[in-house]
Copies of this chain bind each other. A is one copy, B any other.
Amino acid sequence: MIALMPSPILKFCSNCAAPVAHRVPPGDSKPRYLCDNCGEIHYQNPKLVVGCVPVWEDRILLCRRAIEPRYGYWTLPAGFMENDETAGEGALRETLEEAGARVELGAPFTMLSVPRVNQVHVFFCAKLVDLTFAPGEESLEVALFEESAIPWKEIAFRTVGLTLKHWFEDRKRGSFGFHAGDIVPPAPT
């Protein structure tokens, strides 16, 4: 599941329960949540979103979102990478959870920083192993689309649209590369 939540506001220290301050620590350059009681600094860092481009012949599998944000819009299967897994394992897990689909994963295809929401999105190339798929709890429907049928105006996230664009361009060229880039304001993610 892709969500666009910013880093949470911390009110209390998770180590000692004292109220936390939000200021630049000595020797640092950015404001942090820090505890004047126990000394703990609570760093916040970007999150990885991992997913894939599941392909069957000349069609790509998309999921229509059953959750906000972008309820009803189409996305590639993707979600927050979890502890104790690799990026590839996360992409496989999200594809199974959201689309009920099993894929054979290829190489990473896109890596896109989205600093506005403190995320980096990584999509892998993937081949569906069969035509067994079904919407998970976070999807309204799951379907295969040819290039001419892609609902470009109803794509949920810019990283998904850009990944699909690269994929069709690379297919036309006959060679799939790796594409890195940044999604920067002002347009929404």
Q: Are A111 and B84 in contact, CB atoms less than 8 angstroms apart?
A: no
CB-based contact B7/A15 at 8 Å: no
A47 at the interface (CB under 8 A from B): yes
Take A82-B30, A83-B45, A108-B180 as given contacts and tell me if A8 and B12 are in contact as well, using a CB distance cutoff of 8 Å: no
A122 within 8 A of B: yes
State the CA gap A115–B93 with chains docked (Å).
15
Cβ of A80 under 8 Å from chain B: yes
Decide: A17 near B7, CB < 8 A? Known: A44-B83, A81-B46, A87-B111.
Answer: no
Q: Does A156 interact with chain B (Cβ within 8 Å)?
A: no
Q: Is there contact, CB below 8 Å, between B118 and A84?
A: yes
Chain B residues, Cβ within 8 Å of A154? none
Interface size class of chain A, counting residues whose CB lies under 8 Å from the partner chain: 35 or more
User: A68 to nearest B CB, angstroms?
Assistant: 17
The reply to whether B84 and A113 contact each other, CB–CB distance below 8 Å, is no
Q: Please pick, from B12, B16, B47, B120, the residue contacting A87 in the complex, using a CB distance under 8 A.
A: B120
Residue A88 at the B interface, CB < 8 A? Answer: yes
* Structural contact, B12 and A84, CB atoms closer than 8 A: no
Closest Cβ of chain B to A168, distance in Å, is 20
Q: Give A169 to B10 CA distance when docked, in angstroms.
A: 46
Interface presence of A71 (CB below 8 A): no
Instruction: Given A11-B16, A111-B111, A111-B122, output 13 extra A-B contacts at Cβ < 8 Å.
Output: A12-B12, A13-B14, A30-B82, A43-B80, A45-B48, A45-B83, A46-B47, A85-B113, A85-B115, A86-B115, A88-B113, A107-B180, A108-B111
| Chain A contacts to B: CB under 8 angstroms | 7-8, 10-17, 20, 27, 30, 42-48, 80-89, 107-108, 111, 113, 115, 118, 120, 122, 137, 178, 180, 182, 184
